[in-house]
Structure 1
Amino acid sequence: ETDAQATAEASRQADDDAHKAKGALETEKPILAQVRSLDQRLDDQKEALREGEAACRRDAARLAADEQAMMAEEARRVGMAEELARVEAYCIEHRPDEWLVANLAGVEEQVNGLIAKQREIVRKAQAVQDAQAASRKATEALDAWTAEAEKLKREQARAAAQLQREKEALAPLLENRLLREYRADKDALLREKALLAQIAKLEDLRAKLEDGKPCPLCGAEAHPYAAGNVPAADEVDRKITALDERIEKAEEHEAAIRKCEAAESKARSQQADAEKHEALAAGEKKTAERAVAEADASLRELRDELATRRQSLFEKLQPLSVAEDVDADFATLLETLRERLRQWQSRLGEQARLGKALAALDAAIREIAGALEVQRASLEDKRTKLEEARREIAETSDRRKNIYGDKDPVAEERRLSQAIADAEGRQEEARDRHGQIQRQWHLAKDRIDSLKTAIAGRESELGRLETEFAAARASAGFADESSFLAARLDPGEREALTARANELERRLTELKARRDDREKRLQSEQARRLTDETLEVLQPRFERGEAALKSLRDELADLRTRLRQNDEARKRLKGKQAAIEAQERECGRWARLHELIGSADGTKFRNFAQGLTFEMMIGHANRQLRKMSDRYLLVLDETEPLELDVVDNYQAGATRSTKNLSGGESFIVSLALALGLSHMSSRNVRVDSLFLDEGFGTLDDEALDMALETLAGLRQDGKLIGVISHVLALKERIATQIQVTPVSGGRSRIAGPGCQGVA
């Protein structure tokens, strides 16, 4: 009760503190609102000041950058003006070079003629040297063949004398007979020797011969050798030996004679050849001397013509202050003139470019200057506004300090709110404490009253229970209460037995529930009365049903297996189908390629490849054709890949066949194709030469000029252009010419650079 009174006093004090805190907050709220408004204004003004300062810094940086750009542009203008002054000074100093603009082409033609003439002179001088060398060679050959002829003549004389000596030595040995006669005598002696040898072998047979009786061998009746008159073999041998010696000596002399005759014949033949070569060398010497004279005369003429042309060239170059130089290199001179022209044209172009750039730069400088003035004025205006903003911030800050000092209204409001919250918390805590004490006091009071009533009501029950306990104890055999307490089990055993009893009780309950459930199910099945048949009748049927169910399950498993295999087969088929589709796409691509370029004899591919090259050539030809005329355009025929059509832009872009072109149009198209071909090149083939045979006679003056200008451009690209024509206009336009003049006898004479007479 004392605690309740104390908590009631604490609750009243907490109510007073909360009321005072709320009053303080209510008092401060108008001031806080005014201060917040001032702080918000200050924040806005400071933010605006920061933005203005940042803008001023950006404008100042931009102004500084523009001023730097202005200075850079002015410095650039000074440099450009100086460069322009130098270019103008160069143009004034080299004013004569302007003459090259209109006259360099003529000078190039003259210089090229002089270079060609110099080359011709060099070739002619080389021809003179070659002729002189040929003359010297012919003289040396003549001298050599003359000496060789004299030498061979002496050798022929020596061979003839030797032959005469051999014949004179053979004459006494043969004694006015022929050698074959001596050989016939030798053969007769040899036969005689053989006969004597045969006779000597028939000695026994000779002894049996009788005069008047025939010989058994030959049948003769006369027997000259029967009496032993056989010629002596030694005499025959002596004669054969003598003949052998004579024949051997004669053969040696005859061999020497044949050798001498061969040597004499060879010397005579060589002498004849030497005399023939001597005559040829004499003719070649005369021819070489005549060629030297002709080449020397032609060289003098060329040098005179070169001197005349050189003088004409330097007279033409007098406006350029080019001094005449006999040993001048015309190629270097021409390159120098070209360089002077390039420098002049470059400086003129540079002067025009610098003039335009200087004018544009002046305009840009004026524009930058105007922008700088605007930026300076804008920056000054922003700086003035910044000063005004700073003054407003200072005034607002002073007003705020006068109202609330340096205190933070948010922190003050948070402090007052926290004080109110703390007071209210204390108030709520005191109220809760007081309510709790009050509740506890009332509960305690009610409990006391209840306990008093329960004690009064249970005193009689307690006496009754003590009487019943004493009677039960006595009936159980316990003398007193202490013996009963001693006989009791310990708490652990009692708890174990209690738990076991509870478990048995639980199981008994579950079994009763299961029995009741089975009985209910049995009653339910009996109430359904599915069949009246007995178990003995139903058991076989059940077994058959089980077998059928097993069969159905096996069939179902087989069907599932087949379904799985079917799914796998479908997946494989899908993969194969994808592969087939890929192959069909690849086959289609090859089929399209075959349709485009495939054929058994390669015609389509050849036409395709030739069509690519043909299309490339048409592109080059159209670029050349565009230089000559804007009327025509070459295109591929839509039906024939290697045929041409012509688009006529002067006839509303009509497409015409090349077969319908006039002579002049055909020539222009042919020339464009030839020029296009000349521009085509590969790694191994380059077309550097182009020869045009006739066709210029079908062109009008304008088309002829265009064609010649195009050919001149090709010539400047380093290509050799040859024109064969009877058109007189070409003769006047082409400097380097080879003229063909017909002469009698179906022959023609050529004259021009690189042409010389053949003896």
Structure 2
Amino acid sequence: MKILKLKFKNINSLVGENEIDFTNPVFTNEGLFAITGKTGAGKSSILDAICLALYGRTPRVKITGSENHVLTRGQSDCYAEITFEVGGYLWKSSWKQELTRTGNLKPVSRQIADVRDHIIADQIHSCDTKIIEIIGLTFEQFTKVIMLAQGSFAAFLEAEKNNKGELLEQITGTEIYAEISQKVYERTKSEKEKLEKILIEQGAIKILSSEEIHNYGEQKKGIEHEKKQVEDTINALNEALNWHQSFNELQKQIGNTKEHLPGMKETLNGENQKLENAKKSFSDVKNELITQEPIFKKTRELDVKIEEKLTALKPINNELNTTSIKLENLKLELSKINKQLDESKEIESAIRKWSIENKIYETLNSSYAVIEKDGRTLVEMSHEIQVLKEQKESLENKINTQNEQLTRANENCYSVDSLLSTKISLLSSKKDDLKNVLEGKELSDLQKTKETISELGIELKSLKETEESLRLHKAELDGLDTSIQAGKERLIKLKEREKNRQDAIANYQSKIHLLEENINLTKAFQSLADHRNELEDGKPCPLCGSLEHPFSDGEIPVMGEKEQELHQLKNKLTKLNQESLEVVKSVAKISADLTNSENNRTRVKYLIQQKQESKDGLLSNIKKLDIYHTLPLGNLNPEVLTEILTNLRNQYNKMDARIKKHETETKEINHLRDVEIPNLQKQSEQAKDIQKDLKANIKLTEQTLKDKSDILSQKVLKYSVEDNKLKLELQKYKASNIEELQFRKDEWEKNQNDLKNIREKIDVLKNSISQKEYERETQNKIYEAELKKQQNINTELDKLTMQRQEIFGNKSVEEVESQLKFSLEQCENAKNHIENQVKDIESQINKFEAVLAEKNKELVELQGKKKTDKSTENLDAELLISKSKLHELSQSIGAINQTLETNQENIKSNEKKIKEKEKQQNIYNTWAKLNELIGSSDGKKYRNFAQALTFEHLTHLSNLQLQKMSDRYLLRQTGDVSNPFELSVIDKFQNNEERTAQNLSGGEKFIVSLALALGLASMAGKNMSIDTMFVDEGFGTLDSDYLDIALNTLSNLQNEGKIIGVISHLNELKERIATHIEIIPSGGGHSKIQLTY
């Protein structure tokens, strides 16, 4: 894929329309070009335009339906269009977006067309699909291929071991492997938690035994039988209360009806009197309306005639007003025109006077062109003289500057040579210091020890957290054991108290039964008083046959005391039943609490087991990592672990400091040997060359200064002669310069035009005056004729108005007639209303009398159905006691039903949980196996495996690219399974010496990182060859020699048909790369593109 042409408008800071033709020979001949400019000027905006034209988005800026941050601030539209070649076929792809008049964004417009401009896709989704089909790369793949990741690989080479995997993931875009590893780990953990939750929930389900269910059933039958007896008593009490209520209500209704009847009859008499008055008022108003009808008719006839006269008068009045206004306007216009005529005559006189006084300028038209040409010639000569003076001054300044540069060059030679000697001594000293940093040990051994300490610290920290968690769970288990024991003891006490209470209830029920029988017997004795008087001692009772008659002497038990005692016993029984119900509720609550505590105890024991297993695993790992066997593994409590972790952290920091110091010293030595000292040697040679060049340049500049001085003298003499000649011509026309002469010429021409125009205006004004005089005379005649018509109609109108005043005055016929009709209607409505009220009252009296008779009859019938002699108060009291008892029994039955229903639900829930557990166990087993293979909390397990394969393939592709650039170096992957991302470089020119990537010089790192970037482009591009690429920065750390090597390396890619764009803000690149696109700031946050070559 090769980019041929790029056009874009208003992208970021690049305002206006821009076009870059990559088929121009200035790009294709060299194969290398630079994109230069200050930081923030807009260099990367060219890449944004390419991505927008192809994929409709950019790597840096997000575009949404409501936001577009690539549009240049203050502009209303932007677009990007690219022409490119793939497999010998040409394609054109474009992207465009505009603002509406109100400032809102219009929808994005995208198109893809072939070489014949035939549109093959014009919708966003179809363009996304088609561009991937044509190029063969997604947006993410394309950005990795077209923008070489040289800078990212340079950072990768210098990164620490633990950070390289993450950096390689960012560069290659293989984040998915770490995400998969983490997702598998998290899913496994989640599925395990679900399984544990199901087990805990299953343990919390309580199911009743068969014996408990049978006991609850028997208890329910007894309570239901007792409830049926209470319900029958309540129904009998309700019937008796309903009879009392019906009887009282009938008596009340009869009394109310008797109270209302006299008043209603008195109201009927009053309404009859009102009816007679209303009929008389209606008759009076009706007679008045008949009397006024002839007068209404005559008045209406006069009103019609008056209206006709007024209608005829309106157009005449309008015409008089219009004519009057026209006459007034004509008068004003004539006055204005006469005034204009006088002013125009005065202006004409003044213009003629000026023409006579300035007759000299009449010939200026013919001679002005020649004089003006001479003036321009003098201006050009003056400009040439000024340029020569500036050039002379510039050469004099240049000589002074060159002399100063020569002095500085002499000083620089001495300074560079002194610094070179100092750096050579410093290099020798640093080599001696480096030997003492590692204290005789290998760097790889120190790094391995540091990693072991780090891993040991992580395991110990996890062990500390696990130990603390174990302590908390054990404390929680002890608390639960205490709570369960206390609950069981309280439950036993409640059951013992409930047994005693049930015994008391049975005792009270027995006493109540005996007392009720006693009361009934006493009532029977009292009802047989007459029969007892006939009994005689020694003779048998006719009812029972007894020979003894204990109550015949009048010693019959008193009823009031027995009933009071019965009432007290029933109250105590009710209280005991309520207390018993509360105890049942308490027992149920304590049982539920105990069940929850048992479930929590099971859960905590399970967690303790899990933590103990985790602790054992951690201890096993710690034993493996404790290579020096210095840890007190038998006494690893949290306090000891904290102390050990502190010591390990100190050891790690000391080890890390030594390693970093060695890396720093190595870098400094390499920089001195490979960069600073060679640079200073080259600077010394350059300084001497500069001395020689400056001396030659000073001599050449002095000769150029002499030549320019001679030419300047000749120009000044010629200018003096021509200037005198021009002054004589200007004096002839009384002008000091060409501008004043031009003013005189224009002034004469303006005067002649003004004279012509004012004479034409005077003629027009005279004609206008004649026309306006004629119009005024015509309007006067019209006004007089209309005025006479107006006077005749007004005379007739006065006569008609006088006749109406005599008949009806100023009153309105419609209002008077309407008022009479309204009064008649009101009287009729009042009469009808009163008649209806009389009928209603008579009807109500008849109804009340009928109702009274019916209610009296119902009262007699109700008295014959009397149910009891008890009062309402006694019935209410008995009903309240019975309802309370019924409520208690219903609650007991409800509690038993709820217990049995809950048991059935628990049985179903337990069966469901068994199925859930089996299903979840299978799911967990599957994820646990996958987690064992690739899962980890940090994603490293699968990421390192996948990236090790990716890095191996990348190293192979990078070596292929490296051979094309230089046959000196070869890359080799040197890492192991735990650290697969280490690279070494084999230097074929140095007897195949192998060095780590950390020990490469700046130039060598650039070459290696560029090869890796090209390898990544090849890997990301798959089978698609991208022939237009860009490199962003990375040259700032290179010295002159390595910069040449880097640029030659990039330029050699032209042999493969590639064009490379180097994006940089370094001015030095402008001198080394012939073709460059320069981004130049133009103010206001905008920039422009300039192509130089």
Give TM-score, length-normalised by structure 1. Answer: 0.28
**Higher RCO structure (Cα 8 Å, ≥6 apart):** 2
More strand by share: 2
Structure with greater helix percent: 1
